[in-house]
């Protein structure tokens, strides 16, 4: 048989096989080996579809979570701002009450910075000569004594703090009325000096200004006795006083005239 006849026979055989397969599939029949061959492709197609759906769902969930987190952060920020406003209003109301109850009142000021001189414990406030402030005036808060005005410019002033070693104020023990002098130490506590050894002083006693130095009005709360011990000699005691007002937490202050001066 020639090669040409063989090719014709093979072609016709393949044609009839394909025709037979199409006829059986059209009638709803199938062959097991065809199902077996198509299963991996169907499984792969189903897996790919499932993965695509899962990735889409995860991405949508992630985006929704990000949107919810942004809304939550905005809400928390709003709450913090509201809380800060409430705290500020409370402080300002207390300052106004202090102003109205202080006959030696001159001005109310905000703390704007720490003093530039590292050798002095000072703060800067946003009021100065233009507001009637002068050197030596007392500076207080609703908690108690802060210090005194150290230097003045047109629109700001420098305040020497109670804990500075250059600071001193005439005081008395509130209960016993015993008089003494408070001096700064450079630390958080101050020293109450010139209290005789025989005077009974206890931890927790309150200390207020006496007004005898003609600088600070009398009755300003200064601090509380935190430690009492015998001094280096037998005449006076060594007494530590913890100020009522922590100078690292001062935001608004009130300035008062000298005890013996008129506004």
What are the structural domain ranges in the chain?
105-256
Residue matched to tokens 């000298």: 258
- What percent helix, strand, coil does the chain show, rounded to 5? 40, 30, 35
pLDDT tens for the chain, residues 1 to 263: 555 555 555 555 555 555 555 454 444 444 444 444 444 545 555 655 665 566 677 677 777 778 877 777 777 777 777 676 777 677 767 777 777 777 888 999 999 998 887 788 999 999 999 999 999 999 999 999 999 999 999 999 999 999 999 999 999 999 999 999 999 999 999 999 988 888 889 999 999 999 998 889 999 999 999 999 875 666 788 899 999 998 888 999 999 987 554 43
Plot region of 180 (φ>0 → left; ψ -120 to 50 → alpha; else → beta) = beta
Q: Measured between alpha carbons, how far is 15 from 22 in angstroms, rounded to an integer?
A: 11
Computed over its alpha carbons, how large is the radius of gyration of the chain? 44
Pick the CATH number of 105-256 from 3.40.50.11540, 1.10.630.10, 2.40.10.340, 3.20.20.110: 2.40.10.340
Taking the whole predicted model, whether its pTM rises above 0.85 is answered as: no
Which residue, among 176, 237, 233, 166, has the nearest Cα to 207 in the 3D structure? 176
Task: Write out the H or E segment, with its range, that includes residue 11.
Answer: helix 3-26
- Beta carbons within 8 Å of 129's beta carbon, 6+ residues apart: 152, 153, 154, 155
The rounded distance, in Å, linking the Cα atoms of 18 and 228 is 112
Question: How far apart are alpha carbons 127 and 161 in whole angstroms?
Answer: 16
Please give the full DSSP string across 139-190, using - where no structure is assigned: EE-SSSEEEEEEEE-SS-EEEEETTSTT-EEEEEETTT--EEEEEE-SSSSE
Joined tokens for residue 137: 């005036």
Cα dihedral angle (85, 90, 92, 95), rounded to 10 degrees? Answer: -160
Q: If you count DSSP H runs as helices and E runs as strands, how many of each does the chain have, helices first?
A: 2, 12
Which residues, in sequence order, are CB contacts of 96 under 8 Å at separation 6+?
none
């Amino acid at each position: 048989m020639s090669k040409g006849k063989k090719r014709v026979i093979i072609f016709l055989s393949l044609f009839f096989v394909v025709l037979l397969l199409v006829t059986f599939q059209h009638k709803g029949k199938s062959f097991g080996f065809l199902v077996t061959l198509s299963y991996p492709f169907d499984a792969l197609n189903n897996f790919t579809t499932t993965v695509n759906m899962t990735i889409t769902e995860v991405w949508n969930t992630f985006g929704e979570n990000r949107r919810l987190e942004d809304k939550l952060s905005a809400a928390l920020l709003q709450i913090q701002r509201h809380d800060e406003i409430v705290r500020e209003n409370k402080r300002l109301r207390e300052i106004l009450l202090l102003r109205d109850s202080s006959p030696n009142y001159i001005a109310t000021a905000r703390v704007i910075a720490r003093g530039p001189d590292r050798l002095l414990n000072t703060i800067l406030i946003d009021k100065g000569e233009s507001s009637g402030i002068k050197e030596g005036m007392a500076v207080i808060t609703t908690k108690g004594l802060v210090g005194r005005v150290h230097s003045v410019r047109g629109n700001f002033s420098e305040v020497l703090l109670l804990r500075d070693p250059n600071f001193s104020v005439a005081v008395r023990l509130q209960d016993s009325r015993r008089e003494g002098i408070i001096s700064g130490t450079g630390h958080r506590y101050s020293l109450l000096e010139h209290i005789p050894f025989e005077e009974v002083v206890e931890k927790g006693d309150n200390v207020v200004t006496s007004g005898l130095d003609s600088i600070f009005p009398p009755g300003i709360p200064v601090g509380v006795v935190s430690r009492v011990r015998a001094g280096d000699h037998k005449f006076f005691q060594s007494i530590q006083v913890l100020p009522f007002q922590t100078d690292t937490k001062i935001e608004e202050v009130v300035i008062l005239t000298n005890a013996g001066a008129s506004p």
